[in-house]
């Protein structure tokens, strides 16, 4: 039933009141204890605890594209899509050990600032404009539209009402600054995990009931028995989903580029840790890594449960089909939520709303940070006061959210599938950006000309490899595992394309930098002390536990 009952609205209202009240309390404390300095507004400098940083990282990351898109991928391909979450746990440890110390040592607060410090203002400005466009046109729009679509399909409330309500809720939190976002994210993550686990519990129990049993353990075993093909982490070449997750590439190839770029070179992610000291930042990132291990239980298992229930004939055909009669995986999670008992449905809608609003607030704050500190302050009004910077940031939040609401229905996000929509468009630039960052970190000879190649050339190479199959036969790559036959053409899988572009960018950056060095160009190296890469004993123990869990998971579900 696509409506919410009275108890559902009460549960949701409790969630809203708790988050809004806590955010208002944090905001008032911040006003009494601090000025309206730009660093306090954009970074909450020195005020976020490790648990707030970790929760905020997850809240900013988990949103409609996971609950709806990744659950839909669970319906379609199974547990293998969890590699995005579980490999992220490993990636976060690398970011904590090697990336964050470099940022903090050099007092880097935004990604364009890093590029300006390490390369030059041209590279920084190009990337600042790019990140603004990417965050508004791809990230903000996809979260707004998918989130509104999901809540509308569950509650029966008009799509546009849902979209603008989500935007307004996110704006209220964002205008309070990074400290309000960071601490309210703790509440958001609580509702996100609690509501998500309730949905998973009820979905698995429903599977068990369909086969004459009860309990989530029984439901999980039945899912493995009746959809064994959905419980493999590494796809073989003959699997229809191989182009999406091409075999070992998820362990030793392009998946590392996706994750390292996302978690280590991404403003709205790293921003959570850049206002803290190294120990606190690392503690928060480690906490986020532990939470990442849990995410597939919340966002992937319900999709597999929906697949099993559909195979059993539990759903009427139209519930999971689009207007053309094709089954749409992205409808799996909303359809499951419509089956929940009264009250629990409200809790799950609160969890979904928490994920959406937290991500919107995080991305809007990062958009405001980049525009204000890297464009407005540097190019438009260098003499701007602290108060003017904060005001500009708040206006930017409003404008970005309004643009997102207006253009998101026009982009066909629901046609592509939410998770794929984001991966497809960010993947065109991720390899070049990551190459530019990784050499900028650890190779002092890398020059700004080389960085310009990675910025522009990396994008052009990604486009070339994407459309190359239209005018060239790539079957010679098939024996190497880098090509798949799709509709009579051999195409390079998305993750492999990213790997190719990254390697080419690194090689060409090395050549350009070497030529520049010989011509007397002296790059601006960062201050790096190898001692700062040494983790504390407690961090090392936590990291080893995560590695052990990941080895066990991949070994069992290989």
Distance CA 390, CA 393 (A): 5
The better pLDDT of the pair 554, 353 is held by 554
pLDDT at 311: 84
So what's the pLDDT on residue 548? 95
pLDDT in tens, 67-82: 777 888 888 888 999 9
What single string gives the DSSP state of each residue in 310-355? HHTT-S-GGGGB-TTS-B-GGGHHHHHHTTSPTTHHHHHHHHHHHH
- If one compares 525 and 501, the residue with the highest pLDDT of the two is 501
Tell me what percent of the chain is helix, strand and coil, each rounded to the nearest 5. 75, 0, 25
Residue 272 has pLDDT above 90, yes or no: no
- State the sign of the Cα–Cα–Cα–Cα dihedral 303, 304, 307, 312: negative
The pLDDT confidence band at residue 34, using thresholds 50, 70 and 90, is: very low
d(CA 532, CA 499): 29
Domains of the chain: 38-411 (1.20.1730.10), 427-525 (no CATH)
As a whole number of angstroms, the distance between CA 351 and CA 80 comes to: 24
Rg (CA), the chain: 23
Residue 375: pLDDT over 70: yes
537 Cβ contact list (under 8 Å, min separation 6): none
Mean pLDDT, residues 359-367: 83
* Mean pLDDT across 283-292: 92
Q: Is the pLDDT of residue 319 over 70?
A: no
Is residue 503 scored above 90 in pLDDT? yes
| Among the ranges given (9-18, 310-319, 418-427, 495-504), the one the predictor scored with the smallest mean pLDDT | 418-427
Cα–Cα distance for residue pair 284/190, rounded to 1 Å: 16
Which pLDDT score is estimated for 35?
46
Segment among 175-184, 276-285, 326-335 with least mean pLDDT:
175-184
Query: In this predicted model, which residue has the larger pLDDT, 35 or 200?
Result: 200
pLDDT at 36 over 50: no
**Percent of the chain whose pLDDT exceeds 70:** 88
Residue 239 has pLDDT above 60, yes or no: yes
Write down the pLDDT at residue 317.
59
First to last CA, the chain: 38
Cα gap 527→347, rounded to integer Å? 48
Does the pTM surpass 0.75? The reply is yes
Q: What is the structure's pLDDT at 158? A: 87
Category of 247 on φ-ψ map: left (φ > 0), alpha (ψ -120 to 50) or beta: left
pLDDT tens digit string along 432-488? 999 999 999 888 899 999 999 998 899 899 989 888 888 888 888 877 778 888 777
d(CA 500, CA 325): 37
Residue 40's pLDDT is: 58
Q: Above 50 in pLDDT, residue 490?
A: yes
Give the pLDDT band of residue 22 (cuts 50, 70, 90).
confident
Which pLDDT does position 30 carry in this prediction? Answer: 60
Mean pLDDT over 77-94 rounds to 92
Q: Which of 115-119, 177-181, 352-356, 501-505 has the lowest mean pLDDT?
A: 177-181
What pLDDT is attached to residue 42?
Answer: 60
**3 state DSSP class of 158:** coil
Please state, rounded to an integer, the average pLDDT across all residues of the chain. 83
Once rounded to an integer, what is the mean pLDDT over residues 165-181?
Answer: 78
Residue 364 has pLDDT above 50, yes or no: yes
Q: What is the pLDDT of residue 461?
A: 93
Question: For 278-300, what is the mean pLDDT?
Answer: 91
Q: Stretch 95-120: mean pLDDT, rounded?
A: 86
Q: Tell me, what's the pLDDT at 282?
A: 92
384, pLDDT greater than 90: no
User: pLDDT (tens digit, 9 = 90+) per residue, 417-447?
Assistant: 556 666 667 778 889 999 999 999 888 899 9
């Amino acid at each position: 039933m696509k409506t919410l009952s009275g108890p559902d609205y009460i549960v949701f209202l409790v969630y809203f009141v708790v988050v809004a009240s806590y955010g208002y309390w944090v905001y008032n404390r911040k006003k009494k204890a601090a000025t309206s300095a730009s660093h306090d507004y954009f970074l909450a400098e020195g005020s976020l605890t490790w648990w707030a940083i970790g929760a905020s990282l997850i809240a900013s990351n988990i949103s409609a594209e996971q609950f709806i898109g990744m659950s839909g991928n669970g319906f379609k391909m199974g547990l293998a899509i969890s590699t995005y979450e579980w490999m992220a746990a490993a990636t976060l440890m690398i970011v904590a050990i090697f990336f964050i110390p470099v940022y903090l040592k050099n007092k880097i607060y935004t990604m364009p600032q890093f590029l300006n410090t390490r390369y030059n203002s041209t590279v920084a400005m190009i990337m600042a404009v790019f990140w603004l466009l990417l965050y508004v046109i791809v990230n903000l729009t996809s979260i707004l539209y998918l989130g509104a679509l999901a809540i509308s399909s569950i509650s029966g409330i008009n799509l546009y009402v849902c979209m603008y309500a989500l935007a307004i809720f996110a704006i209220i939190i964002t205008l309070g600054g990074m400290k309000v976002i960071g601490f309210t994210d703790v509440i958001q993550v609580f509702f996100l995990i609690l509501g998500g686990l309730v949905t998973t519990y009820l979905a698995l129990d429903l599977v068990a009931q369909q086969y004459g049993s009860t309990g989530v353990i029984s439901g999980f075993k039945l899912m493995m028995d009746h959809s064994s093909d959905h419980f493999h982490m590494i796809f073989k070449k003959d699997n229809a989903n191989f182009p999406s997750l091409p075999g070992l590439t998820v362990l030793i190839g392009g998946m590392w580029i996706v994750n390292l770029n996302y978690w280590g070179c991404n403003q709205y992610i790293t921003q959570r840790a850049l206002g803290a000291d190294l120990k606190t930042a690392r503690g928060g990132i480690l906490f986020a890594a532990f939470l990442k291990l849990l995410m597939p239980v919340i966002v992937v298992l319900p999709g597999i449960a929906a697949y099993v229930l559909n195979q059993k004939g539990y759903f009427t055909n139209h519930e999971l089909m689009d207007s053309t009669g094709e089954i749409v995986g992205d409808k799996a999670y909303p359809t499951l939520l419509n089956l929940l008992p009264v009250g629990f449905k409200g809790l799950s809608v609160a969890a979904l709303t928490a994920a959406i609003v937290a991500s919107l607030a995080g991305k809007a704050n990062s958009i405001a940070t980049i525009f204000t500190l890297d464009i407005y302050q540097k190019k438009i009004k260098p003499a701007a006061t602290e108060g003017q910077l904060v005001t500009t940031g708040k206006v930017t939040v409003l404008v970005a959210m309004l643009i997102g609401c207006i253009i998101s229905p026009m982009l066909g996000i629901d046609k592509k599938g939410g998770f794929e929509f984001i991966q497809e468009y960010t993947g065109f630039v991720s390899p070049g950006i990551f190459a530019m960052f990784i050499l900028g970190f650890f190779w002092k000879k890398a020059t700004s000309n080389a960085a310009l190649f990675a910025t522009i050339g990396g994008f052009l190479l990604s486009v070339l490899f994407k459309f190359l199959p239209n005018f060239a036969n790539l079957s010679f790559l098939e024996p190497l595992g880098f090509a798949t036959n799709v509709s009579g053409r051999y195409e390079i899988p998305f993750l492999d394309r990213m790997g190719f572009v990254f390697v080419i960018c690194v090689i060409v950056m090395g050549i350009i930098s070497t030529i520049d060095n010989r011509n007397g160009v002296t790059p601006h190296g960062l201050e790096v002390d190898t001692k700062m890469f040494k983790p504390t004993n407690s961090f090392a123990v936590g990291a080893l536990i995560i590695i052990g869990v990941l080895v066990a998971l991949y070994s069992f579900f290989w």
